């Protein structure tokens, strides 16, 4: 182990130092919705938004990939606040998105909270930071899957591990569903392959000397994965989200390589966007 890696493990393995390392997230929008909370309850949560923002800005999730720059929209809807000893118990719902095709929802969010207490990363289960980590791992996993085939697996595993600790903790509400969600995302290798092959084509189109074989083969594989999703999973929510964001480009690419059968498959599978697919089948 080299000296720099040793310093990282000792210092950043247990605590975030915001001023040294850049995190994996750049364009971050955090919102904490307080609803009908009383004025005193609002005062308790006055710094929570900034604390979550700083956590995502400063946390260093991936030592090997330092330039992900993933976008984040995060919404925490506070449902109730109760006191317990010298801390408060927060009940909430949470939504997070990469402002594109990754959108996740968590109900039954529950965590202890102290006013003005900095959220710190820990390898142990801590309800709030572990929830933020869980979401971060899912976003990082999906992003890495676009870089290399199934490259996000280790981060899906991290999300599964966090939720496994959560569902066996004293704060287990909602974590069983999060565990199941992370496992399903990891195991949907057809969608993960579709995402990788789509972005492989996009990257190849940017090269001065495009490799047409790579483009054609990747799009054929994309279509084969779509067929497998339909056969094995049926109407899959994550696949439909992905198609909803990229269906215009996907249609144009498939038409360019004469994959009309695949466009027809998309029309039947992603019926919401049929007006995009239909014109290509009439040309």
Q: What pLDDT does residue 185 have?
A: 98
Grade residue 22 by pLDDT with cuts at 50, 70 and 90.
Answer: low
Grade residue 23 by pLDDT with cuts at 50, 70 and 90.
Answer: low
Each residue of 139-198: pLDDT tens digit?
Answer: 999 999 999 999 999 999 999 999 999 999 999 999 999 999 999 999 999 999 999 999
SS3 (DSSP) at 80: strand
Please check the confidence at residue 45 and state whether its pLDDT lies above 90. yes
CA-derived radius of gyration, the chain: 21
Q: What pLDDT does residue 254 have?
A: 98
Grade residue 68 by pLDDT with cuts at 50, 70 and 90.
Answer: confident
Domain residue spans of the chain: 3-136, 190-282
Rounded to two decimals, what is the model's pTM?
Answer: 0.90
Q: What pLDDT does residue 2 have?
A: 46
Is the Cβ–Cβ distance between 179 and 137 less than 8 Å? Answer: no
* Rounded percentage of the chain residues whose pLDDT exceeds 90: 81
The CA-atom distances, in angstroms, between 246 and each of 30, 65, 67, 152, 212 are 25, 25, 23, 20, 21
pLDDT averaged over every residue in the chain: 90
Please check the confidence at residue 76 and state whether its pLDDT lies above 90. yes
Arithmetic mean of pLDDT, 103-130: 94
48-76 per-residue burial string, b: 16 or more CB within 10 A, e: under 16: beebbbbbbbbbbbbeeeeebebebbbbb
Q: In what order do the strands lie in the sheet with 87-97?
A: 25-33, 70-84, 87-97, 103-113
């Amino acid at each position: 182990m080299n000296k720099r890696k040793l310093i990282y493990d000792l210092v950043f393995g247990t605590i975030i130092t915001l001023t040294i390392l850049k995190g994996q997230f750049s364009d971050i929008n955090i919102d904490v919705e307080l609803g009908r909370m009383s004025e005193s309850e609002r005062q308790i949560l006055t710094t929570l938004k900034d604390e979550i923002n700083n956590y995502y800005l400063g946390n260093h999730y991936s030592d090997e990939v330092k330039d992900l720059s993933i976008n984040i929209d995060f919404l925490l809807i506070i449902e109730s606040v109760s006191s317990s000893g010298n801390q408060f118990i927060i009940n909430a719902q949470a939504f997070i998105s990469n402002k594109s095709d990754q959108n996740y929802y968590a109900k039954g969010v529950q965590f202890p909270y102290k006013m003005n207490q900095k959220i710190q990363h820990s390898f142990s289960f801590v309800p709030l930071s572990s929830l933020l980590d869980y979401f971060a791992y899912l976003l990082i996993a999906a992003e890495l899957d676009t870089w290399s085939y199934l490259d996000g697996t280790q981060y899906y595993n991290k999300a599964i591990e966090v939720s496994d600790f959560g569902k066996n903790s004293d704060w287990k509400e909602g974590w069983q569903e999060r565990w199941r969600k992370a496992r399903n995302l990891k195991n949907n290798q057809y969608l993960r392959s579709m995402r990788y092959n789509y972005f492989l084509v996009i990257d190849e189109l940017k090269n001065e000397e495009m490799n047409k074989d790579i483009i054609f083969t990747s799009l054929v594989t994309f279509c084969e994965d779509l067929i497998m999703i339909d056969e094995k999973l049926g109407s899959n929510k994550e696949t439909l989200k992905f198609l909803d964001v990229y269906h215009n480009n996907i249609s144009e690419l498939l038409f360019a390589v004469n994959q009309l059968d695949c466009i027809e498959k998309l029309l039947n599978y992603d019926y919401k966007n049929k007006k995009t697919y239909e014109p290509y089948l009439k040309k």
